[in-house]
Chains A and B, each alone.
Chain A
Amino acid sequence: MTDPAINVSHVSKQFGETQVLRDISMQVEAGKVSCLIGPSGSGKSTLLRCMAFLEQATSGSIHIEGEPLGFTDGPQRRRQSPAELRRVRSRIGMVFQQFNLWPHMTALGNVAIALRKVRGMSRSDAEDRAMAQLDKVGLKERAHHYPAQLSGGQQQRVAIARALALDPTIMLFDEPTSALDPELTGEVLNVMRQLASEGMTMVVVTHEIGFAASVGNRIAFLDGGRLLFHDTPQAVFAAPREPRLEQFLDTYLDRGASMLK
């Protein structure tokens, strides 16, 4: 049996006195999409950020395709060297809520820079490849625009292209549409749908319950730093047995119902 794409094992995380994640274990199989849902402060973003080692788990371990991320395996938990961390992390593409494009580079520059500086590609090779990625997210015409000249949806699509250009096997999305209005949300979700249909392994922190239900192979529900549920959308949405989950989903139903009045 092959290793899962992501294996989270007994991860706990403390910020000072606050326990943000409590003994979380979950696996994401290659080619599957897991959506992390839950109320604000439930720890879902922190869990995702741990998967990219942007946050360090206080205890527990995370393996990416069988290799430890951030800390070495073995009895003594030691930090990986920066080079080793970069090597393991190179399989992961990360997309942020605030896009985090670099404002002093064009869309093309944002996508091309790591190809040049990390992959050592020539400028023209890197830009050809970057242009192909921008084309894929429908932004070839905007390649020479700076981030400030792009809409939020376009910026997020550039950010997705930037991550994809480095050939990750796993894509992590941290509330990718939370900073966007509903119209722009659609264009970003479409790109993500396409990516999922191509078999990309994805973990998505989202409040878009509809997207989670239709694209997610698994739904993970977090509350108070605990993983209460990690199951198929059918199991989660059709028959929520967990009272806390039922309550959480009701808030979405309430909003939908109030629109019909």
Chain B
Amino acid sequence: MSFDFAVILAKLPQILSGLGVTILIWVGGTFAAVVLGFVVATLRRFGGRGIEVILRAPIEILRGTPFLVQIFLLYFGGPYIGLRLDPWLAGLLGISIYGAAYYAEIFRAGFQSVPVGHVEAAECAGLSRNQIITAILLPEMALLVLPPALNMSVILLKETALLSLITVPELTMTVQAIGSQQYAFVESLVILALVYWALVELANWLGRYAERNLSKLSA
């Protein structure tokens, strides 16, 4: 048996379209997840005990259940409570919410990692509470959370492949469909793996570049 990649590569425009959807959901979902996760972590840190308790449960549920189950519940279960979403919107929302739970934990750890003494030094210098948050806590935290945050975005990229199961026309669904049409299943899987790997390497390369530029700031 011989591999024939040509029959798949002949559908390059379709593949690129699927790749575009994957990148859009990945970048858009990661962005929304970072923002949402940050808001949640900030509320937990500064919002008082009540908010802390309320927010803890949903985060634990989201981190404690498979992403596949979550998007099935959102897409197939949503209509039972009147929530009818287009596949791509359900996918984007799913990635955002799932990612937000993890980013909230990453930022929570980040807040805790800033030494108390750095805040005390800022208080002694006369900075107000808001100035301490914006000028000291947030930038210091950004440095600390950069590696785990980038790692999480790579995980989210790979999770987008599951969105093919709720018929989002992203990379996995597109390439597998081509593979079925052309009777080239294995070839399609090999190409899928290579494209995802290339995207992950690109993300890692960007991450290493950012870390190199910031490394002089950490002891």
Interface residues of A (CB under 8 A from B): 52, 54, 82, 86, 89-90, 92-94, 96, 98, 100-104, 113-114, 117-118, 146-149, 159, 162-163, 166
Contact A117 B127, CB 8 Å, known A98-B115, A104-B140: yes
The distance in angstroms between the C-alpha atoms of A44 and B80, with both chains bound, is 65
Q: With the chains together, A30 CA to B69 CA distance in Å?
A: 69
Task: For A82, list chain B residues within 8 Å (CB).
Answer: 128-129
Question: Are B126 and A86 in touch, CB under 8 angstroms?
Answer: yes
Residues on B with C-beta less than 8 A from A118 are 125-127, 131
Q: Contacts A89-B126, A114-B126 known; A103 to B121 CB distance under 8 Å?
A: no
- Specify which chain B residues have a CB less than 8 angstroms from the CB of A101 in the assembled complex: 121
Pick the residue among A92, A103, A159 that contacts B140 (CB under 8 A). A103
Which residues of chain B in 107-142 are interfacial with respect to chain A, using CB atoms and an 8 Å cutoff?
115, 117-118, 120-129, 131, 135-136, 139-140
Q: A149 — which chain B residues lie within 8 A by C-beta?
A: 216
In the bound complex, residues from chain A placing their C-beta under 8 Å from that of B118 are 100, 102
Known contacts A104-B140, A148-B217; A92 and B124 CB within 8 A of each other:
yes
Q: Which of B120, B124, B135 contacts A163 (CB 8 A)?
A: B124
Complex interface bits, B137-149 against A, C-beta within 8 A gives 1, otherwise 0:
0011001000000
Contact of B120 among A54, A92, A93, A117 (CB under 8 A): A54
Cβ contact of A93, chosen from B124, B127, B139, B140, cutoff 8 A:
B124
B124 touches A52 (CB 8 A): yes
* The 7 residue pairs across chains A and B that have the minimum distance between CB atoms: A114-B125, A100-B121, A100-B117, A94-B124, A118-B126, A148-B219, A104-B139
Identify 19 residue pairs between A and B in the complex whose beta-carbon atoms are under 8 Å apart, listed by A's number. Answer: A52-B124, A54-B120, A86-B128, A89-B123, A92-B124, A96-B121, A103-B218, A104-B139, A113-B125, A114-B126, A117-B135, A118-B126, A146-B216, A146-B217, A147-B219, A148-B218, A162-B125, A163-B125, A166-B126
| Known contacts A103-B140, A103-B217, A148-B218; 16 further A-B pairs (Cβ under 8 A) | A54-B120, A54-B124, A86-B126, A94-B121, A94-B124, A96-B117, A96-B120, A100-B118, A103-B218, A104-B139, A104-B217, A114-B127, A117-B135, A118-B131, A147-B219, A166-B125
